[in-house]
Structure 1
Amino acid sequence: MTQIQTANVKDYDDNFVIGVDKANVSHAEVSVLPAKQRMSPWDCMRKNPKIVLLTLYANIGSAMVGYENLALSVCLAMPAFRMTFASEVNGTLIIPAHWQSAWNATYNVMSMLGSVVAGFRQDWFGRRSVFLAAIICSVTGTAINYVAETPAVFLGGKIVTGFAVGLVLAGTQTYVSEIAPLPMRGIALSANTIMLNLGLLMAISATFSRIYIMDPSAFRVVFAAAWVFPGLLLLGLPFVPESPYWLVMKGKQQEARRALQKLSPAGSNVEAALVQIHSQSKRSAPCLWRRLR
């Protein structure tokens, strides 16, 4: 088996490695990739508990998406919600169709816009910055929904929460795909769907017992419960390392090494993994540019 020669690894400059020749780069890639590819998904998860926890953390945002997607639909059926936002037509409280359409349409349009913005932001400022932006937007949008007493104000809340949902959807998948080792990457990415559906169940559970409450607290509590998701994301954010791939892309080699040390289990060859990331980054960047031209 090819042995990794790490003695030549002396230091990193702003571009890459000082003292690592091409042979060592090739040897590092050859030694790291087959070992990971031979590992089963469950063995990989068992040996990488930090990445499992970070995957669950990132997908708190996916649960938030599921919750937000269903909360409005369920609240529309609440008598208390109609009493606050509906108009009386022939003795019946009816929420005008144009408001219902506006709430749902703007939410989805802003979600799409949030995903686009997240794509640029996470390349400029890092993957963690998208989580922070989503937290701020989610807290703000939920606050607007909570205090809203007119359809127009409620629309403003849906605009902001929709943007937050788009941010977190794009940021979660990017971050998880970059930190998860290849054998467990499929399972890690599938956590997005699992947590999204868990959010749907949480929304149903939060509203089920409140459907017959006739004061505004019936639906305001449902919206306030959405603060749990950005709250948990905010509590965990200081302990979340930046994506090593983004750090390498920005030439921050020392920070990338420290991030890999936080992510990797004890005894891992961090230097070889860093060489592999840099090699992949160098190969993928020109290919992407050629496709975009």
Structure 2
Amino acid sequence: MEDPDNKPLATDTFVAPSSTRDDGPSKADVLVIGETRNITLAEHETSFWAAVHQWPTAVFWSFFFCIAVVMAGFDAQIITSFFALPAFQQKFGHLYKGSYILSAEWQMALNMGNPIGQVLGALACGWPLEKLGRRLTLALCCVWSICFVFVQFFANSIGMLCAGEILGGLAYGFYVVIAPTYASEICPLALRGVLTASVNLAFVIGQFIAQGVAAGLESRLDDWAWKAPFAIQWVWPVVLLAGLLFAPESPYWLVRKNRREDAHKALVRLSSKKNRPDIEGMLVMIEQTDLLEREIEATTTYWDCFKRANLFRTEISIMVYLIQVIGGNPLIAYATLFFEMAGLDSAQSFNMGVGNTALGFVGTCLSWPLMLHFGRRTIYSSGMVLMTIILFIIGFLDIGRNNTSVVWAQASLMDIWTFIYQTTVGPICFVIISEISATRLRGRTIAISTAVQAGANIVFTVVLPYMINSDQGDWRGKTGFLFGGISLFCYVWCFYRLPESKGRTFEELDILFERKVPPRKFKDYDLLEIEDARA
């Protein structure tokens, strides 16, 4: 049985390949999941706008949880913006050729705070997410953030500021795991792509606000030029704490805690009263997905992310998130300083930085309609090709350049690169990691991916100041060669290892991975074919 669009549905019976068993047949070899056929068919047939009308509250709460990610994007961007802020340079920098600059060592130290905190926070979030749930964990992180913004605001030395960044960054590690996890667990199939991609939009909004604040304060020469941005960071957690009092918990988490009635109530709260979908059917599908994953893997530890089919799922999650960093994303954070080092004056640099993040906002919004028509693999891989070409062009333009027209060309290409990144790789990454990971291991899989990505960010945090700064490597646009070469390698990985997850329920994805379907065949693989052959 197939849907009208010839999209394969979950089979009545899932038979695990005997080759994966070392101890003979077990109860996991045959798992009846026929109860979900009708709701799976309904999931495939529901359009995006129909799903919006059925689940308006889910859309709202998904966006609401993303406010936490706005904080993470704001903090990461505002720190690098400070490096080109005259008041900050005079306060903590030193004179070099008649102007103040912040040393590469202190740039590196300050930039270390956010990613180090994310590594530690991401790895630490697995236990509280499963023990306390999504709501309470996020609430505790908000209290943490409020406390350590005080350290940043009242810092009277770079050392104190670095400490505040690291301690505050622990919460950011939680935020970037909680938001996509929650969004993927409260929405139906038709909304999953857009709502999980909204995590990237939240990052961009945070970056845009940070760039705008920095540009607005660029002319100030007192301490409020850099204290005011820190003060703004008290707003987000207060808003979140107020809203979390009314937010529904993840139905998947409630089912895993054997709280079926609470899960039913959560689904009712997430859906529309006037256009209510089949709540009982959705609950059965959640239960059956959890049952299937329990049969395949009984425990939910970090080690389970690297066992059996979950190893490949973890590889995919790690790589698509890691590519964000090694493929050139650090240049976005350094946009303002990059423009300044390329030859633009301070005012022009900040204006270009604001424009850069504005393009990112538009690009992320554009990714939503793209996902309704094209697959995740297609969008992600196409973005990698275009980004790689642009990075090499930026690098070649820098060879022997000696006029301002080339500077503006490089700056414009950087904006185009950002637009493409935020339309493809940036948002689609969060969709993929939210879909590919098993529901029982989703928090831990995303946590591992976040930690690896943040670890790579630490490496580039160390390297980039020495590459870009005028008193160090002075690479300027030649950084395009480094990231372009890495991007080319990453595209090859995408071609061979990145599967298509569009239009598949979590239950279907579990079966596809357990059957070890080749990544390039995910899109067209008919789940009924093997069963029909056996019949």
> Is contact 2:73-2:203 (8 Å) kept?
yes
Q: Tell me what 2:287 maps to.
A: 278
Q: Tell me what 2:322 maps to.
A: none
- Match 1:45 to one of 41, 44, 52: 52
Q: Closer, same or farther in 2 for the Cα pair 1:292/1:72, shift >3 Å?
A: closer
Q: Tell me what 1:158 maps to.
A: 165
CA distance in 2, matches of 1:225, 1:106: 18
CA distance in 2, matches of 1:194, 1:88: 38
- Cα deviations across residues 22-63 of structure 1 (Å, max 9, x unaligned)? 99x844x22222112101112211221101101110111222
Tell me the amino acid that sits aligned with residue 173 of structure 2: G
| Cα shift at 1:92 | 6.1
3-state SS of paired residue (1:149): coil
Q: How does 1:231-250 map to 2 (within 5 A)?
A: 231-250=238-257
Q: Closer, same or farther in 2 for the Cα pair 1:119/1:210, shift >3 Å?
A: same
Q: Tell me what 2:193 maps to.
A: 186
> Is contact 1:82-1:95 (8 Å) kept?
yes
> Is contact 1:85-1:149 (8 Å) kept?
no
> Is contact 2:92-2:102 (8 Å) kept?
yes
3-state SS of paired residue (1:222): helix
CA distance in 2, matches of 1:91, 1:50: 56
Q: Tell me what 1:268 maps to.
A: 277
> Is contact 1:177-1:189 (8 Å) kept?
yes
Tell me the amino acid that sits aligned with residue 139 of structure 2: L
Where in structure 2 are there 5+ consecutive unaligned residues?
Answer: 1-30, 308-535
Give the TM-score normalised by structure 2. 0.48
CA distance in 1, matches of 2:216, 2:87: 13
Bigger drift between 80-89 and 279-288 goes to 80-89
- Match 1:222 to one of 211, 215, 229: 229
3-state SS of paired residue (1:239): coil
Tell me the amino acid that sits aligned with residue 113 of structure 1: L
CA distance in 2, matches of 1:107, 1:198: 17
CA distance in 2, matches of 1:246, 1:279: 14
Bigger drift between 239-248 and 92-101 goes to 92-101
> Is contact 2:75-2:114 (8 Å) kept?
no
Bigger drift between 117-126 and 262-271 goes to 262-271
3-state SS of paired residue (1:209): helix
Q: Tell me what 1:134 maps to.
A: 141
- Cα deviations across residues 191-245 of structure 1 (Å, max 9, x unaligned)? 1112211211111111112112111011111111122221221121111111011
Tell me the amino acid that sits aligned with residue 193 of structure 1: N
3-state SS of paired residue (1:134): helix
> Is contact 2:76-2:114 (8 Å) kept?
no
CA distance in 1, matches of 2:73, 2:96: 33
Q: How does 1:249-260 map to 2 (within 5 A)?
A: 249-260=256-267
Q: Closer, same or farther in 2 for the Cα pair 1:228/1:145, shift >3 Å?
A: same
Bigger drift between 201-210 and 58-67 goes to 58-67
Give the TM-score normalised by structure 1. 0.84
Whose RCO is larger (CA < 8 A, sep 6+)? 1
Where in structure 1 are there 5+ consecutive unaligned residues?
Answer: 1-21
Q: How does 1:37-186 map to 2 (within 5 A)?
A: 37-86=44-93, 93-186=100-193
CA distance in 1, matches of 2:216, 2:122: 34
| Cα shift at 1:106 | 3.2
| Cα shift at 1:292 | 4.8
> Is contact 1:86-1:94 (8 Å) kept?
yes
CA distance in 2, matches of 1:115, 1:159: 13
> Is contact 2:56-2:271 (8 Å) kept?
no
3-state SS of paired residue (2:233): helix
Tell me the amino acid that sits aligned with residue 294 of structure 2: A
Tell me the amino acid that sits aligned with residue 53 of structure 1: F
Q: Closer, same or farther in 2 for the Cα pair 1:229/1:190, shift >3 Å?
A: same
Q: Tell me what 1:4 maps to.
A: none
